C-alpha cells in the first residue's frame, strides 16, 4: 500500500518517543512532556507504513507571516526515501506563500535542509531551556 501521510491523527507519546529515539533526535523522553508538546502544536503530520510510525513533523504557524518547524524525525530504515521531504512539503504547502518558515536543524541533519533548498539564516537568537 505504501506510506500514508496524515495530519488528522496524533500518535501516542510512546510511539513518538520510539521514533525520536530511533532517529537519534534529541527530544524529551518523558511521555507527559511529549503529550504537552504535541497537544500545543497545531501542525502535526505523520507518515505510516501500515501501522508503524516512520516519520513525524511538528510545527506552528500563524498562517500569514511566520511558520516554525519544531521537529522532523524519520526512522532510519525509511531515510533517503523522500519521507522527510514529503512531510515538509505537506506542512508548508498547506499555507500561503507569504509565510516564512524557519527551523533549527539537529547536528545530524545540518546539511539535509540545504539539500532540499532551505536557506541558512544567521540572524537568530535563542533563550535556552533549563534542562
Q: What's 104's domain CATH number? A: 3.40.630.30
User: Residue 130: is its pLDDT beyond 80?
Assistant: no
Where does the pLDDT of residue 77 fall: very low under 50, low under 70, confident under 90, or very high at 90 and above?
very high
Question: Is 129 domain-assigned?
Answer: no
The set of residues, in sequence order, having a beta carbon less than 8 Å from that of 27 and lying 6+ positions away, is 17, 20, 34, 37, 71, 73
Number of domains into which the chain is organized: 1
User: Residue 43: is its pLDDT beyond 80?
Assistant: yes
Measured CA distances, 103 to 27, 57, 59, 109, 126 (Å): 15, 11, 9, 11, 12
Range of the domain at 9: 3-115
**C-alpha to C-alpha distance for 121 and 81, rounded to whole angstroms:** 27
Which pLDDT score, from 0 to 100, does residue 46 have? 98
Question: Is 104 domain-assigned?
Answer: yes
Which pLDDT score, from 0 to 100, does residue 30 have? 97
Contact 74, 26 (CB under 8 A): no
Question: Is 21 domain-assigned?
Answer: yes
Q: How many percent of the chain have pLDDT more than 70?
A: 98
Half-sphere exposure of 23 (CA within 13 A, CB side): 27
60: enclosing H helix or E strand: strand 52-61
pTM of the prediction?
0.90
Amino acid at each position: 500500500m505504501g506510506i500514508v501521510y496524515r495530519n488528522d491523527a496524533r500518535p501516542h507519546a510512546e510511539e513518538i518517543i520510539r521514533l525520536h529515539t530511533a532517529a537519534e533526535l534529541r527530544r524529551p523522553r518523558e511521555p507527559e512532556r511529549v503529550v504537552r508538546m504535541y497537544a500545543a502544536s497545531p501542525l502535526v503530520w505523520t507518515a505510516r507504513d501500515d501501522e508503524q510510525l516512520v516519520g513525524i513533523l511538528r510545527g506552528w504557524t500563524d498562517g500569514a507571516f511566520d511558520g516554525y518547524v519544531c521537529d522532523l524525525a524519520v526512522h532510519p530504515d525509511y531515510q533517503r526515501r523522500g519521507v522527510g521531504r514529503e512531510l515538509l512539503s505537506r506542512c508548508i504547502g498547506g499555507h500561503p506563500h507569504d509565510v516564512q518558515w524557519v527551523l533549527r536543524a539537529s547536528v545530524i541533519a545540518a546539511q539535509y535542509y540545504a539539500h532540499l533548498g532551505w536557506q541558512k539564516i544567521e540572524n537568530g537568537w535563542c533563550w535556552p531551556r533549563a534542562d
